[in-house]
Each structure stands twice: as C-alpha cells, then as structure tokens.
Amino acid sequence: MNKITVYERADFEGLSREFTCDVPDLHELDFGDCIASLKVVGQPWIAYTQPKYEGEPHVFEEGEYEAVERPNSFSALRLVHHDLLDPQITLYERPHLQGACKVVSEETNLAYGYFNDRVASHVVQRGVWLLYQHPNRGGWHCLAWPGERVDDYGAQLRFQSRLSHLRPLQPGRPTVTAQLLWDQKRVEEEREVLVDEIVGVNETESEQALAAGSTREYSTTLWQSFRFSNATSLRAGLSFTLAVEASNVFTVQKGRSESSTRRERSEVALPAKVPPRTQLTVHVLRKEVTLSVPVLLTITQNEAVRTEMGEYRSVSGTNVCARFSMKPLPAAGTGTEQQTETAAGARQECGVQMGQGAAIGTEPGDNLCAPGAESGSPCQ
C-alpha cells in the first residue's frame, strides 16, 4: 500500500494526517504549510511549496523523515504512480535532441566524466528523474517525467549547460509472499551418522544397571538456505519470511547470507539394565536428510503483481536414534566364546520429543528413537 503520514512537528509529534492519493491543496484539509516530519510507505511522494503542484518540488522516497528540509512550507502532495524499476533518460549536448548524446540508467555524477555542464535537452524513456545543478545532488533541481521531451533547457528550464548530477527515483519496497511447493520437493540424500557409542559389560550372574544412565542429550542441527533465481528483480535489503513449519520461520534478506543453522538438544533413551553375562553395545545415530523445495514468490509493488521462483534447501540432522545389540559372554569356567549376537529389532518411532524424558526399554533388541523436530518438519 502506498501512503504518506505527515506531522505538524518534528520527530513525528503533534497533529497528523494520512494520505493514500494526491492532495492538490492541503489548505482545503486544514493542513497547509504545517508539515515538519513525515513517513512514507511504498512509492515516492512529492511535496510542493504551492497548491496545484506548483512551486519547488521536494521528493520523499520510502522511509521516515524526522525533520524535513523545508518545514511548514508544503501546500500539495503528489504520489508517484509510475513504474520506476527500469529507468532510462537520454541527454543531448545541443537543443532539440541534437549533438552528442548520453544514455543514463542509474544515478550519475556528470562531474566525473565528459558530459558535465554540457546538456541542453533530454528525453525520458522510463522512470522519474531528479536533475541537479551541482554535483552530489546539490543546487537547484527539477523533475523529469516518463515520456517527457525537453527540447531546450535554456528556454524551458533555465538550465542551459548547468546539469551536473541526476538520479532516478527509487520504487517502494515490494511485499513478498513465499509459498513452499512441497509436492515438488526432492530428497537429494539420506544418511545415518554415528554420533556416540556406549558399551556396557556385565560379567556377573545377576542383572546390572547401565552406568551410562537412562537418557543422554545430543546436539542436533538444521542448516537451511534460500537461493533466488538468476533473473530476480529483487534488490539488496529486501527481507521476507518463509514459514517452513510452525516452529521454523526462516527469514530471508536479499544481499546477506541467505542461510542459517539452528542447534538444539535431543534426549535419547538408553536401556536401563544389562542382563547377566552380557555385553551391551549402544550406537547413537543421527539421521541427516538433504532436500530442496521450489518456492513461488508473489511480488506486489505499486499495485502490480508478478511472480518469481526461488529454492529452499535444508540439511536436517534433527532425528537422533539409539540402536543397541546384546552379545552373550562366555559361560563362567569355559574357554569357548559364544559368537551369537541378538540383532537390533526393527526400527520404531518411540514418540520421544526434543527435551522430553523417555520411557526406558529393558528388552534386548529395542531401537529407541528421539525425533528432534515436531510433526510436519521438512526433514522427517
């Protein structure tokens, strides 16, 4: 939404008014010549020192202005509706678009080149431009609108051979809605990583408690990143959120590292007892899943809507499981070692959540799992 909020005193204090469309005469709304600070959302606004968009123009792009340069002097407000994404203006050395020319598509200080104080006419292809008399946005300035053709700076602008700096107005920040296309996700890799091994030996003829305790905590990680399409029009500084799941809202900011790592702790249940004359081996495993999901970006800017594609990628190591096996020790007084081993049972999901306790299994062959993410995680 494009809007401007104006205040009668600096630092956004005093009476205020909010506008979403042009105001040709602020006096008719009892707010003329009293603006000292303002806030702009969306497209730029132009404040004029006289009603009916006359007098000296002052441009305010998206942002907050605690104090304006000319307080108590604005009589009209105008919203810039034009498309500002791809600006272009052509400058000519002579009147009537004659002589050497220069095409400009970004802010330019002509004092750094050969075209300083040489411009006599121009034509605007796209965007809205501010033209300055001196370098570094200094001196007298004027606006140049899309489709405008000024044939003679001397006669029309009193600006003959005096242009030294120009810049296009910047569009307001777009709003971005991100939708994960889960039905198109790709699982690129799945693997199990050994994170711990616990061995308990009971050489007695009676059941013994496992010295390692009934539960143990382990670190889990979730690495996630976002990649924009090569043709993206979004500029650095734009940020939006990507709701991966209820407990995982990933913030993306264009131009910064679009990745993050989340570390948490997971409790894993261990067998409580070791049977007589048995060696218990516990392997703690972390399941890591790498997946990618296309993301549909819906971009709304200046009442225009367009779409782009991106990609969310994650490497999840949030599922931790304990698998154990028991091997009988040789019977007391014999030299023959038994080679049989009780294999771990089929894998089970035990419903042990991150940071919660677990019921202790005491039967051999148990496979105790501790999912590190709630239901709905992309990493399950």
The more confidently predicted of residues 155 and 27 is 27
- CB proximity list for 169: less than 8 A, separation 6 or greater: 44, 59, 61, 80, 84, 87, 127, 128, 129, 130
In total, how many domains does the chain have? Answer: 3
**pLDDT score of 199 more than 60:** yes
From 62, 79, 96, give the residue that closes a domain: 79
CATH number at residue 205: 2.170.15
Q: How confident is the model at residue 159 (pLDDT cuts 50, 70, 90)?
A: confident
Task: Indicate if 122 and 19 belong to the same structural domain.
Answer: no
Q: How confident is the model at residue 32 (pLDDT cuts 50, 70, 90)?
A: very high
pLDDT value for 273: 85
Q: How confident is the model at residue 173 (pLDDT cuts 50, 70, 90)?
A: confident
Q: How confident is the model at residue 3 (pLDDT cuts 50, 70, 90)?
A: very high
DSSP label at residue 185? -
Could you read off the pLDDT of 107-116 as tens digits, one per residue? 999 999 999 9
The closest alpha carbon to 14, from 67, 81, 55, 74, belongs to: 67
With contact defined as beta carbons under 8 Å apart, do 212 and 286 qualify? no
Task: Indicate if 122 and 190 belong to the same structural domain.
Answer: no
- Cβ-in-10-Å burial (0-12, 13-18, 19+) of 368 comes to buried
Average pLDDT over residues 11-20: 97
Helix (H, G, I), strand (E, B) or coil at 112: helix
Mean pLDDT of the chain: 85
Q: How confident is the model at residue 13 (pLDDT cuts 50, 70, 90)?
A: very high
**pLDDT score of 62 more than 70:** yes
Rounded Cα distance between 258 and 36, Å, is 39
**pLDDT score of 164 more than 90:** yes
Q: Which two tokens stand for residue 198?
A: 């616990």
Could you read off the pLDDT of 297-340 as tens digits, one per residue? 999 888 788 999 999 999 999 889 889 899 999 876 654 443 33
Task: Indicate if 197 and 342 belong to the same structural domain.
Answer: yes
Sign of CA dihedral 45, 51, 52, 57: negative
**pLDDT score of 50 more than 50:** yes
Is residue 379 in a domain?
no
Identify the bridge partners of residue 264 per DSSP, sorted by sequence position: 220
With contact defined as beta carbons under 8 Å apart, do 253 and 285 qualify? no
Is residue 377 in a domain?
no
Average pLDDT over residues 9-21: 96
- Amino acid 366 reads D
The closest alpha carbon to 343, from 360, 362, 323, 361, belongs to: 323
Task: Indicate if 123 and 257 belong to the same structural domain.
Answer: no
The more confidently predicted of residues 146 and 349 is 146
Could you read off the pLDDT of 249-304 as tens digits, one per residue? 999 998 888 888 888 888 888 887 889 999 999 999 999 999 999 999 999 888 78
Average pLDDT over residues 7-33: 96
Task: Indicate if 277 and 329 belong to the same structural domain.
Answer: yes
Lowest mean pLDDT among 135-144, 166-175, 297-306: 297-306
Rounded Cα distance between 380 and 375, Å, is 8
How remote is the C-alpha of 164 from its chain's centroid?
Answer: 37
Task: Indicate if 184 and 158 belong to the same structural domain.
Answer: no
From 79, 107, 136, give the residue that closes a domain: 79
**pLDDT score of 351 more than 60:** no
Is residue 281 in a domain?
yes
DSSP label at residue 366? -
Is residue 340 in a domain?
yes
Lowest mean pLDDT among 192-196, 308-312, 344-348: 344-348
Task: Indicate if 285 and 308 belong to the same structural domain.
Answer: yes
Task: Indicate if 59 and 145 belong to the same structural domain.
Answer: no
Task: Indicate if 218 and 313 belong to the same structural domain.
Answer: yes
Q: What percent of the chain has pLDDT over 70?
A: 87
pLDDT value for 103: 97
Task: Please give the residue range of the domain that contains residue 67.
Answer: 3-79
Identify the bridge partners of residue 240 per DSSP, sorted by sequence position: 252
Is residue 221 in a domain?
yes
From 55, 79, 103, give the residue that closes a domain: 79
Is residue 27 in a domain?
yes
- Beta strands 98-104 and 88-94 are antiparallel
Task: Indicate if 162 and 288 belong to the same structural domain.
Answer: no
Task: Indicate if 192 and 337 belong to the same structural domain.
Answer: yes
Average pLDDT over residues 203-222: 84
With contact defined as beta carbons under 8 Å apart, do 82 and 128 qualify? yes
Task: Indicate if 131 and 263 belong to the same structural domain.
Answer: no
Q: How far apart are the first and last CA of the chain?
A: 39
Lowest mean pLDDT among 39-53, 125-139, 153-167, 338-352: 338-352
pLDDT value for 237: 83
Is residue 164 in a domain?
yes
CATH number at residue 99: 2.60.20.10
Is residue 48 in a domain?
yes
